[in-house]
Amino acid sequence: MIAPDRLAAPAVRPFLFLPGIAYRAAVGLRNALYDSGRLSVHRLPCLVISIGNLTVGGTGKSPLTSCIASLLRDSGYRVGVVSRGYRRRAARAPLLVSDGRTLLADAQSAGDEPYLIARDNPAVPVAVGADRVQAARVLIGAASPEVIILDDAFQHRRLARDLDLLLVDGRDPWGNGRMLPRGPLREPLASIARADACILTRSDGRSPSSLVSALERYNPDAALFHCRMEPRAFVRPEGETIGPSALKGFSAYAFSGIARPNRFEDDLRSLGVCLAGWRRFADHHPFRRRDLEQVAGEARRLGADVLVTTEKDLVRIVEAPDGSPPLYALAIRVAFPRSRDLQPWLLDRLAALRPDRGR
């Protein structure tokens, strides 16, 4: 996955014009083949909800997947999650991360995001695999779910879905509006037409004009929801949790391997944490001991009281180096305004779909 912060610089973009045309043509052809039925779609014996986006990285797909899995489980559904498991060990073979009773894999084998989803939802089975059709079949064989949630799957059209939830960054919906590799778009904006609902993440409650225009043009009937990604707590490697205000006034050295590290750093500042420095690694970076020793050394040099990373990064860190400042991870949660909550809409849609599928 290409981090949005690492997309081509303006000076390089003219040289990417032809690759951009080729990419757009390939995406257009693939979508046309699926739309016409020439590429086969696999239908599962359960309801399927896809969560995804039009842009690369950083819209909160996995936290929202975890939130919706919890919501459906609490509402009485047998629910499971299927993910690709980006940059995991043995990435081709399907793997059952959790059977809904026991966590069966570590973060290195499962991938950081599926591992967190499984860990935070112990009653929800989770499977991963590069072939998500196979991964879904593994999950169905192990747990017989009524609903499967596909994480990061708006473009994964081999699996038929009953609902498509499209996530859009409430602060920066489309970046520069160009498709890869000249911009962050995976597909043209016209693909919004496939969405049943758009969910603005990191939203302040207002809809950006560029999103409103795109919905009016391509999908005026799509439901629209707003949510925030809120700091929930700071977590220690051994599992100790402290409140989000506990590090206010502390000097911290921040490091991360995520798609949009600037947002993580802004969240820390909003909590009153003083950033002595920071280091940004590539998305899903596999942290080596040498990386952590360099981070700890830089933190000591700058006089930082603590090291802070993201919860997603923390599960990829096997052991902090000796003599490093205390290590914390910032955990976030998804919050919907009560006046525009996703839950009633989602449960109504699923209730309407279940009779049609013979549930």
The whole-number pLDDT of residue 15 equals 73
Q: What is the pTM of this model?
A: 0.92
Q: What is the pLDDT of residues 155-202, one digit of tens each?
A: 999 999 999 999 999 989 999 999 999 999 999 999 999 999 999 998
The whole-number pLDDT of residue 2 equals 47
Asked whether the CA dihedral 266, 271, 274, 280 is positive or negative, the reply is negative
- CA triplet 104, 109, 112: central angle to 5 degrees? 95
Under-70 pLDDT residues of the chain: 1-13, 91, 339, 355-359
The whole-number pLDDT of residue 10 equals 62
Q: Are 46 and 140 in contact (CB under 8 A)?
A: yes
The whole-number pLDDT of residue 358 equals 42
- For residue 173, give the 3-state DSSP assignment: coil
The whole-number pLDDT of residue 350 equals 96
The whole-number pLDDT of residue 25 equals 96
Within 13 Å of residue 318, how many CA atoms lie on the same side as its CB? 8
For residue 78, count other CB atoms closer than 10 A to its CB.
17
Task: Write out the DSSP string of 242-256.
Answer: E-TTTTTT-EEEEEE
φ and ψ at 162, to 5 degrees? Answer: -90, -30
In angstroms, rounded to a whole number, what is the distance separating the alpha carbons of residues 164 and 104?
29
Element at 156 (helix H, strand E): none
φ and ψ at 309, to 5 degrees? Answer: -130, -170
> Shortest CA distance to 324 belongs to which of 241, 255, 232?
255
337 cis-preceded (ω within 30 degrees of 0): no
> Shortest CA distance to 330 belongs to which of 273, 259, 249, 286?
273
Within 13 Å of residue 88, how many CA atoms lie on the same side as its CB? 27
The whole-number pLDDT of residue 1 equals 47
What tokens appear for 77 in the block?
């559904």
φ and ψ at 277, to 5 degrees? Answer: 180, 175
CA 359 to chain centre: 29
Q: Classify residue 17 as exposed, middle or buried by CB count within 10 Å of its CB (0-12, 13-18, 19+).
A: exposed
181 cis-preceded (ω within 30 degrees of 0): yes
The whole-number pLDDT of residue 338 equals 73
Q: Are 185 and 54 in contact (CB under 8 A)?
A: yes
The whole-number pLDDT of residue 191 equals 97
